[in-house]
Chain A
Amino acid sequence: MRYVIIGNSAAAVGAVESIRKYDTRNPILMISDEPYHTYSRPLISYYLAGSKEEAGMLYRPKNFYQVNGVETLFGTKALTVDTARKEVYLDNGEKVSFDRLLVATGGKPFIPPIEGAAGENIYSFIKLDDAKKLKEIAQPGKKAVVVGGGLIGLKVAEGLLKRGVKVSVVDLAPQVLSSILDSAGAQVVQKHLEKQGMEFHLGTTAKTIQSFGPRKIVGLASGMELTADFMVLAVGVVPNIEIVEGTDIKVNRGIITDDHMRTSVADIYAAGDVAENYDVLLQQQRVIPILPNAYEQGQVAGANMAGREAVYPGGFAKNAISFFGLSLVTAGLVKATEDSEEYVAQPGENQYLKIVIRDGRLVGFIRINAVDRAGILTGLMVQQLDVSRLISRLLTPELGLIDLPDDIRRSRLQGGAVQWR
């Protein structure tokens, strides 16, 4: 019996740790096209900003593979899977066979259809290698255009700004962080970033990129032109499903998985940013590309691969992020729709609090500069508890268990584990 895991990030590590909980005997092989020891992908922005060295980015200690009895094949790309023969074909011409396979290949950058987008000095920001290249070119005084004002775009913009680069951010949406913030919340973030010197061109998009030697002229849909020494395309991430293309593994946007993280083919599992699973709030299958979900999915996949029954109950989006000392957390649905209502409070300067309620249940929140103890809200979302009488209490910056009804508070104090999603 042999486990093969394609990938070396959160989902893959989660699977290893889970498999080894139940099976310490059978071999595990990890394959990754990156030549590195497992590192934290989100830390590449810290690396770019200079607040983390490469050595400090390890996601697990140096002896991780040794302790867990994992054979590694790093710097080697897995090209495709023969699901019938249970073999993985590698870019070095070799093949490896498996009994149980986990596809945890993560995401890859979405390259928007912009004229000239494939040119020189145009970067993505997903992997450590991306950050290394950017770090080299990001010299003080240079000018950069970042296309994309989402989580990745703003983190890379922040990193560049900290390195002394002048940064312009372009996004089609009329606001920043449109996937995790409403417009009022985005305003708070945008103003804060503008104060730090970041420049924004929102509600428009890069249409053309012209290269004049190393210099770029970016033509915006608005008609405006921006000059830059280099560009970062951070429009989005799509599931890295190349490896299963052409196989009988069912794919939608990502690899379709069930509540055991099984794909449509027996003994093949998928987890993390490559996999689609159930969003309990949107009540549909989708990719939720965040690290906590990836790890958890990997854990569930690993347990099932090792012959244990484990269920992934679905998840929802949740993000914690900081820019120049302004920190914010959001989760779930951040804008009310026809079947939900929202409540907002702005108790302090630069503070913005919002909760979204559907059928008396908390289905989303935003907390800008009021991060402390936000997990209490996340817990309420997970448990789908009726919070219709707690609305004003959940909208204060000083959140506490004291704000919860007696029975819930007492059960929290007793430390019963919350069933997680």
Chain B
Amino acid sequence: MSLSMITPEFLIERNLERCIKCQVCVRQCANEAHRYDAETDTLSCDDLACVGCHRCVTLCPTKALTIRKFPLEFRTNANWTPDAIKAIYKQAETGGILLTGMGNDKPYPIYWDHLLLNASQVTNPSIDPLREPMEVKTFLGRKPEALEIKDGKLKTKLPPQLELDVPVMFSAMSFGSISLNAVKSLAAAAREAGTFFNTGEGGLHQDLYEYGENAIVQVASGRFGVHYEYLNAGAAIEIKIGQGAKPGIGGHLPGEKVGKEVSETRMIPEGSDALSPAPHHDIYSIEDLRQLIYSLKEATRYEKPVAVKIAAVHNVAAIASGIARAGADIITIDGFRGGTGATPLCTRDNVGIPIELALAAVDSRLRSESIRHQVSLVIAGSVRNSADVMKAIALGADAVYIGSAALLALGCHMCQKCYTGKCNWGIATQDPNLVKRLNPEIGARRAANLLRAWKHEIKEMLGGMGINALESLRGNRLMLRGVGLTEKELEILGVKAAGE
């Protein structure tokens, strides 16, 4: 064995005045960063093992712990940053692809933070949502060319629609990448809030069939867990072509995570790697995609909307147009900040485009082709708060998916170590010792609370604009102004500069 040059990312600080040696930290750290020595009755820390998940900090009953950035400094170098240097050390040692979890953390522009919402003053009255009705209900699915109304009743038969009480859904996260308790939490929260969760390509665990009415079941390139009952159990079906965190590459669930339940749900042997191919090998064209869309519609008697999810890539608008024409009822676009359970660092941090620009481009394109009504647009890829939701809807989205925000509600601390399977919060793990740390009753309450809070905020902001229905904001880019953006960016976004 040779010398390792890997240095800790974090420094564990223990306040000995406060530490009562109760060893909760020792028992809670799956990375074994805390140790107790009975012989000397002392606690020690292994900084190198710390991933900065704050499990110990949060559970320490005397608040004796804190985690800092490891203070080791390299000579200042604007080009060779510490991260860049350390990545080289790691790869020189392992010879492998650097893996990571969660979304792109590099300082690319965040367009949400360059967009501002409007409000009413004098010339049109704002609305107080506590006193007046405010409609935020959203329907996802193909809308008819025209509506025929006879005797005050709608005569046109509407294509299947998803009805959302709040325009926010839980992103595709598979049972396998996250724990069953995490999926249960999201499923129960979706039911509570009147929205949907997405199975990812993990199949639908037996325990989750009761949440079928709030499930969007995914069909991905590995086709894991896909069968007739599965397709019919959900409220809608989503064909996953790509994912914002890893456009162009498939998924890999390591065999260690494929325990009995994952194996049964995915219909693969226990302990075998679940490899999702990079492409669907039966889809090499829009025409092929159309075949799958209609196969799935056939399998579900045209009773369920079929969505297609793609990563936001350079020519996303043209692809989206093709998808709409292929017969999809919903298009999901996942931006380059979208999260993941595991992906090569190089892909996550360097591939794809920002969701804000992709959304604006797709919405504009579909409008210009007069096919916008044929599909609903759902965006994902880092929606952080209710204002982001508002801006997305004003840019043209029908609804949004949240993944990272939902996991944060469950307790995720963004340590980005999902791929290790040692999630101390019981989320991105299949280790039974860790899974039980997430009580789905508590998880469901927290996730539902988040949606309730956002719904209130959305109503507040809508009211401020003098709008009493979310439908009136949808694609209403006049409600947005840009700050600190170039002419070109403003043009793509289709918004005026602030002050204009």
Task: Indicate whether A and B are direct neighbours in the complex (CB within 8 Å).
Answer: no
Residues on A lying within 8 angstroms of B by beta carbon are: none
Q: Which residues of B contact A (CB under 8 A)?
A: none
